[in-house]
Structure 1
Amino acid sequence: MPYATLCLLWMAALLLGCQSSPRLPAESQSLNGHWRFQPQVAVDAAPAQPEFDDSHWPEIRVPGNWSSQGFDTQGAHWYRTRFQWQPQSQSAGQRLWFEGVDYQAEIWLNGQYLGQHRGYFGAFYFDVDTELKPGANLLAVRVDSPLESQQGDSWSLHKTLIKGVLGHHDTRAGGAWSDRGQERNTGGIWGRVWLQPQGEVRLNSQRWHSQIDADLSRGQWQLSYVSEQQHLGEWQLSLTPVNFQGQAETWRQPGQLPAGDGQVTLLIPEAKRPLWWPRERGAPNLYRLQARFISDGQTLLHSQQTVGFRSIDYDGQLGRWSVNGQPLFLRGTNYIAHQFLSQANESLLLQDLQLMQQAHINVVRVHAHLLPQRFYDLANRMGMLVWQDFPLQWGYQDSDAFHRDAQRQLAEMVNQFHHHPSIITWSAHNEPPWDADWMRYRYQDYHPKQNEQLDLALYQSLRRLDPHRPSFALSRTAEHPWYGWYSGHWTDYGAPAKEKLITEFGAQALPDAPVLYQLLKAPADWPALPDDWSQWQYHNFQPHETFELAGIDPGPNVLSLIDNTQRYQQTLTRFAAESYRRQKYQPVGAIFQFMFVEHWPSMNWGIVDYRRNPKPGYQALKQAYQPLLPSIMHHRDRFSRHEPVPLPVVIINDHLYTLPGSQLTLTLHQGDVVVDHRQQQLHIQPDSVLALAPFPNRPLTPGRYLARATLHDDHGRHLASSQFTFEVQP
């Protein structure tokens, strides 16, 4: 069967397997569904008690963010649900799980206070052995997601909620700096809720780490637990292939579980196993790792996790990333899937990841927030690398209380997401004040050292919590050049780069006319340009940057503006991406376009609109990101008939194999006429950049031209191609 057909069948099977929500653990009881919701701000604790009458409250779906269900509110609100429960004789107790609540939750079961959790992304639980009762039960949750802007004029420099782009960002409803920038609050019980039976020994957390040595791999699995008494018994371990054909491995070893809070480390012995690879380098081989502790014929502890064997390394001196010891140039994008995490379902995430891989993107920067676990599960299975930011965006308080909260949530992030082989790095803070000199012009109370100690402490925690991944204290402003949008000109991307990591570059472009028409709610004067841009600005359009800095011509109407912004984004995206790729390891080792998709009905930097329609910028990135690229381009697309046209030709090979006897064909078309044709035999080295003589490098008669570069292997099979259009003027 042809390889392309196999890939299509594999992706179809993956899609069919991801239509429903991820399965809850075996024997668990789901508490999802329709709950009662208090739409008014909570003012007392009466709804925590079972006898409270909530029959007049409207219903709300759990999981779900409240704004996504028509409740345009913020602050503290009550959720209540009634459910039936019957005990199982084989279980010693029950654990109540929440996958995610934005932002602070306080929980009562049958009127008994269980506790609270702060932070939008983390899963949390309570043991409810005494509070849960056979028959009818009442669960009440007070969810508080306040507005930060209530704190004063400079609130955005001193934020207290660790929500990243979900709380304050250019791509939020209203943007980052307007009076409406805090609308469409993301609060609510966005994740699943369930009851999980517990044995006498209860698992609290687990940590996985793999090591690669030549072609051998080994692993270390650390389980933290609590036990009422000491137990002697036997560990039974198994390692079973999940997404490939292979033999399961099993082990038995004696063990003991001391009473109280304990920790045990289980070692997976060294062996030759299929490794987890990004799709560009091989197969993303995954295993189901299971452990059972058996004592007197009973299973006292059972744990399982999906893992992969892989290693990650970053050489900061050379700017070079390696996966399993093999170098890999990172061709990335920034990504926010949806403003409301409950809406980022498996189908949406899979569609986005497929579009990314079709555009030859091999790494995703989850930009200043965390996505649900289902995203990382998909990335694992699809072989997509992930750069993971902690949800700190711009400025925050420097109080001791905030620093402690940030440390706690950072540990929560690493502990809950560390096992995903797709995640290759952590970054603590995006553009913090101490590295963002531009803030001095926006805030009167700006301090150049703000959040520096916070970020350095978070970085040390990342190094301690996960010493096996590269970590960064921040994503630096210098790594976000933004030429042609916030400063300079798009041709400045052609200058020699100074940074090894380019983690943001891009430009805005409007969506196509039908999408924009619907987004603006069918304006009566369509397609006339507006006299007042405020509605557009609410949907993230930046008129100053578009017209004054980028110099985009609005044209006579909206249709021409759409075309002009899309062509500008297309030109800038391709030129920047290819310019940085031409500087591979000299000094650039990774690039991240900003950004992939518009995550709400907006008109921002996405190369895919919020309805998942690719813009021309997507096609530009797809061409520029080909692993094998015959790059032919210029920073100009207009020349005089009296000057030569020197289009630089560079062969970029990100593959790790040699291409001997390759044939490069360069053709120059003027309309249907071929005015130049050249062929050249090349020996293309692995992981290389090869600069060739400019083409056609001579004066041309006036007209429109298309230059095409095509590579074939030594058997005449097509490998890659690119093209560049330009005009010669009289």
Structure 2
Amino acid sequence: MVLIVSSQLAAQEHLIVNVYNRATTSLNGQWNYIVDPYENGFYNYRLEAFEDQENPGNGAFFLNAKPKSKSDLIEYDFDISDSIQVPSDWNTQKENLYYYEGTVWYKKSFDYKKSENQHRVFVYFEAVNYEADVYFNGKKLGKHIGGFTPFNFEVTNLLKDKDNFIVVKVDNKRKKEGVPTLNTDWWNYGGITRDVKLVEVSNNFIENYTIQLNPENKNQIKGYVKLNGTEIAKKEIQIDIPELKLSKTIISNAEGVAVFEMNSKKIQYWDTKNPHLYQVNIKSVNDKITDQIGFRTIKTKGKEILLNDESIFLRGISIHEESPITGGRGSTIEDAQQLLNWAKELGCNYVRLAHYPHNEHMLRLADKMGILVWEENPVYWTISWENEATYNNAENQLSEVINRDKNRASVIIWSMANETPTSEPRLIFLKKLAAHTRELDPTRLISAALEQSDYNGDPTIRTINDEFANVVDVLSFNQYVGWYDGLPEKCGQISWKILQNKPVLISEFGAGAKIGFHGDKLTRWSEEFQEDVYIQTLKMLEGIEQLQGFSPWILVDFRSPRRMLPKIQDGYNRKGLISEDGKKKKAFYVLKNFYDTKSASN
């Protein structure tokens, strides 16, 4: 426990957990914005950063400068500039920014008075895509890289009762050394894409905690609590689980950390049929927080995946984070609810959240709805494997999502990567990521969408010939026989020989179809073609001895600039079982019938 605690805290120092259940003030709503493709608000004409200069002058946008006289020269004004909704993306809000990639400055002005019993305030961003430079009342708070994970900065000493302003330089330019890198198959939505909040806490507050079932002892709940402040040593911390009549008082060490164990033979285990959540209360001298936590174990044994020591077949679907209600990047609880409702209607007990961490609503709802979750780090296709900064970026994003979701019972798999071609530098990179993940969280499974190859040169027999397969707990791969690889009838000619004694999840399969376009089963893009691919693929995959589930590609059609065929794709990847306007295709019912049969037999 000591090693795990120290690793977790080192990975995400001062990132506040469970903001979801804390007292907050929303900064959502209309923000003023300025489009700045030349970054004139960040650099002077010598390409010197204003923030590095002692007297940056009026050109620095983060100062939100105003003329002091009628002669002052200031070439921007946030307050008379256009406004944009936060959270959301700029691409679907502003037609002229649909394809824009670059810098946009956001500004929000507000008054704020601290609560009488609260003394510290943090600004918390759930996500900004992709790089965010954050300034508060003209002072730099810091920089965050990564478009899908939360971050926060303390603003206590900068906060005023009146006329506060926060400025964020948002840059979504794709970069070769980025994570993800230049080439992806989804839309690069720019902007402040998730909620922004002010978090009010006491001088010495509960910053972080892990509370989980001990995977080696199903009658024991264990974890740690971490305090933040100037007076955090030798402080009492109380943990209560009222429903189990469990209560424990622990004492923090010099670093404000206290570990604990609690035993009960009456724990009701969380599972897909009974997603039981316990109210857990954590209280220190100056702070208290409540969470809703389920207790379960997840393990593998040979070819089986075991939930609470019972074998389970994962009836899944892959999901992108696009709003089924408004289009664009999904951010609301209503977006998440609709996507997960469709997954449940399909018969799913499992979803793969591709290809990056999704918003926290998805995980909280999955906890309540009994849906198991695969979460994915955006190490996608071709990454700069030998670039140290690229690795550090990937590790940081993975650390941030683990820190946010480590107490969610629904999360069972951390995925390291998707469809990354094998090489020695890639193996070193991914093995290091996996080791880091196991340090942070040894209670969950590790996987990745691996590459396949022919078995002994026979193109009709496929295998996983990838050294990283020896590292993961669950073998996964994407396959598109019948779509990219021949026609649907080819599925009857292909088999797999998996040499590793591990469970197999097919992380993707599928075919494209335009809703309402009909033809025979050989007419590409027709619903009948997609339907036949699903019929033939399901027969083929059931021949894999170690098969423990799959997550076909994908629940809903989603935007992608790679998909340009007029009148069919029109900028959308059409592999969804549901169209972007919520209409179900014929293949939806093929998979639903298969899952209904599977559910009845298990």
Range of TM-score over shorter length: 0.7 to 0.9
Paired position in structure 2 for 1:566: 527
The answer to whether 1:108 aligns with 2:67 is: no
Secondary structure of 1:38's counterpart equals strand
Tell me the residue number matched to 2:57: none
Contact 2:108-2:166 at 8 Å conserved across structures: yes
Q: Is the 8 A contact 2:35 2:103 kept in 1?
A: no
Counterpart for residue 221 of structure 1: 223
Change (3 A) 1:361 1:51: same
- Alignment of 1:497 with 2:496, yes or no, is yes
Residue 101 of structure 1: CA displacement? 0.8
1:187 aligns with 2:197: no
- 1:610 CA drift (Å): 0.9
1:172-251 aligned at under 5 Å gives the runs 172=186, 185-211=188-214, 216-230=218-232, 232-240=234-242, 247=243, 249-251=245-247
Distance 1:303 1:220 in 2: 17
Given residue 457 of structure 1, which amino acid in structure 2 is its aligned partner? K
Query: Which residue of 1 is the match for residue 281 of structure 2?
Result: 290
User: What's 1:313 paired with?
Assistant: 299
Q: C-alpha distance in 2, partners of 1:490/1:94?
A: 58
**Would you identify which runs of 4 or more consecutive aligned residues in structure 1 move more than 6 Å?**
none
Deviation, 1:492, is 3.8
Q: Does 1:49 align with 2:35?
A: no
- How far 1:236 moved relative to its partner? 2.7
Question: Which string of whole-angstrom CA distances, capped at 9 and with x for unpartnered residues, describes residues 469-518 of structure 1?
Answer: 111255334532311112244234344432433222211111125xx9xx
- The residue aligned with 2:177 is 160
- Which residues of 2 match residues 137-152 of structure 1 at below 5 A? 137-148=164-175
Aligned twin of 1:670: none
Question: Greater CA deviation, 413-422 or 476-485?
Answer: 476-485
- Contact 2:372-2:412 within 8 A present in 1 as well: yes
Q: Which of 130, 134, 147 is equivalent to 1:120?
A: 147
SS in structure 1 at match of 2:35: coil
Provide Cα deviations, 1:589-625, integer angstroms capped at 9, x if missing partner: 2222222211247251111111121100001111122
Q: Residue type matched to 1:223 in 2?
A: V
Question: Structure 1 pair 362/578, CA: closer, same or farther in 2 (3 Å)?
Answer: farther
Mapped partners of 2:178, 2:486: distance in 1: 34
* Equivalence for 2:510: 506
The question of whether the paired residues in 2 share the 8 Å contact of 1:277 and 1:383 is answered with yes
Cα displacement (A) at 1:355: 2.2
Q: Paired residue for 2:578? A: 608
Query: Paired residue for 2:484?
Result: 486
The answer as to whether partners of 2:177 and 2:387 remain within 8 angstroms in 1 is: no
Equivalent residue of 2:106, what SS? strand
* AA in 2 matched with 1:484: G
| Distance apart, 1:328 and its partner CA | 0.8
Name the CA distance, whole Å, in 1 between partners of 2:344 and 2:539. 18
Is 1:61 equivalent to 2:31 in the alignment? no
Match of 1:458 among 404, 419, 433: 433
Q: Deviations along 1:293-347, whole A, 9 cap, x unmatched?
A: 13xxxxx2323322111010123xx321110011011222222131777434322
The answer to whether 1:373 aligns with 2:364 is no
Residue 109 (structure 2) aligned to one of 74, 78, 82: 82
Q: Distance in 1 between matches of 2:442 and 2:433?
A: 13
Counting only pairs closer than 5 Å after superposition, residues 544-583 of structure 1 correspond to structure 2 as 553-554=522-523, 565-581=526-542, 583=543
Check whether the contact 1:455–1:473 (CA below 8 A) recurs between aligned residues: no
From 368, 383, 388, the counterpart of 2:375: 388
Q: Aligned partners of 2:346 and 2:116: how far apart in 1?
A: 53
Please say if residues 106 and 142 of structure 1, whose CA atoms lie closer than 8 Å, have aligned partners that are also in contact: yes
Distance (whole Å) between structure 2 residues aligned to residue 420 and residue 252 of structure 1: 21
Q: Per the alignment, in what secondary structure is the counterpart of residue 269 of structure 2?
A: coil
| CA distance in structure 2 between the aligned counterparts of 1:56 and 1:552, rounded to whole angstroms | 56
- The alpha-carbon deviation at position 169 of structure 1 amounts to 3.2
- TM-score (ref. length: structure 1): 0.65
Contact persistence 1:212–1:309 (CA under 8 A)? no
* 1:208–1:498 Cα change, 3 Å: farther
Contact 1:341–1:372, Cα closer than 8 Å, also in 2: no
Q: What SS does the aligned partner of 2:288 have?
A: strand
Quote how far apart the aligned CAs of 1:204 are.
3.2
User: Could you tell me how far apart the structure 2 residues matched to 1:345 and 1:321 are?
Assistant: 32
> Which residue of 543, 546, 555 corresponds with 1:596?
555
Please tell me whether the aligned partners of residues 109 and 140 of structure 1 are also in contact (alpha carbons under 8 angstroms): yes
Aligned to 2:406: 418
2:555–2:577 contact (8 Å) kept in structure 1: yes
Task: Give the match for residue 5 of structure 1.
Answer: none
Amino acid at match of 1:225: L
Alpha-carbon distance, 1:553 to partner: 5.0
How far apart are the structure 2 equivalents of 1:473 and 1:254?
Answer: 38
Deviation (angstroms), 1:552: 6.5
Matched residue SS, 2:534: helix
| SS of match in other structure, 2:79 | coil
> How far has the Cα of 1:109 moved from its partner?
1.0
Decide which of 319, 326, 329 is 1:335's aligned counterpart: 319
* Conservation of the 8 A alpha-carbon contact between 2:27 and 2:198: yes
Change (3 A) 1:96 1:162: same
Structure 2 vs 1, CA of residues 230 and 615 (structure 1 numbering), >3 Å: closer, same or farther? closer
Corresponding residue for 1:520? none
What per-residue deviation string (whole Å, max 9, x for no partner) do you get for residues 66-98 of structure 1?
A: 112113322122111110011333222211111
Unaligned runs of 5+ residues in structure 2 are 1-17, 43-59, 67-76, 453-463, 465-476, 499-503, 560-570
SS of the counterpart of 1:251?
A: strand
Alpha-carbon distance in structure 2 between the residues aligned to 1:124 and 1:360: 35
User: In the alignment, which residue of structure 2 is the partner of 1:263?
Assistant: 257
* Corresponding position of 1:620: 590
Work out whether 1:277 is the aligned partner of 2:271: yes
Contact 1:387 1:425 in 2 (8 A): yes
Q: Which runs of 5+ in 1 are unaligned?
A: 1-21, 149-158, 174-184, 241-246, 295-299, 435-447, 517-545, 555-560, 630-652, 656-730
**1:177-210, CA deviations, whole angstroms, 9 ceiling, x for partnerless residues?**
xxxxxxxx41111111121222121333322321
Indicate the residue corresponding to 1:29 in structure 2: 25
In the other structure, the counterpart of 2:308 is 324
Q: Structure 1: how far apart are the matches of 2:361 and 2:395? A: 24
Deviations 1:436-495 (A, max 9, x none): xxxxxxxxxxxx445222111111112222111111255334532311112244234344
**Cα separation, partners in 2 of 1:265 and 1:341, compared to 1, 3 Å:** farther
Counterpart in 2 of 1:721? none
Which deviations, in whole Å up to 9, do the C-alpha atoms of 1:124-153 show, x marking residues without a partner? 1111121112222111111111134xxxxx
User: How many residues get paired?
Assistant: 510
Gap change, CA 1:205 and 1:194, over 3 Å in 2: same
Cα RMSD for the two superposed structures: 2.7
- The equivalent residue for 2:336 is 349
Specify the SS of the correspondent of 2:596: coil
**Percent of pairs identical after alignment?**
23
- Deviation, 1:163, is 3.7
- Counterpart Cα distance in 1 of 2:90 and 2:556: 23
Q: Which amino acid aligns with 2:292?
A: T
Distance across 2 between alignment mates of 1:162 and 1:625 = 34
Normalising by structure 2, we get a TM-score of 0.79
Shift of 1:382: 0.8
Q: Separation in 2 of the partners of 1:503 and 1:232?
A: 48
Deviation at 1:263, TM superposition (A): 1.9
Equivalent position of 1:676 in the other structure: none
After superposition, the Cα gap between the structure-2 partners of 1:101 and 1:628, relative to the gap in structure 1 and judged at 3 Å, is: closer
> Residue 251 of structure 2: SS of its match in structure 1?
strand
- What residue identity is the alignment partner of 1:43? N
Give the alignment partner of residue 36 of structure 2, picking from 40, 45, 54: 40
Closer, same or farther: CA 212–610 of 1 in aligned 2, 3 Å: same
- The structure that has the greater radius of gyration is 1
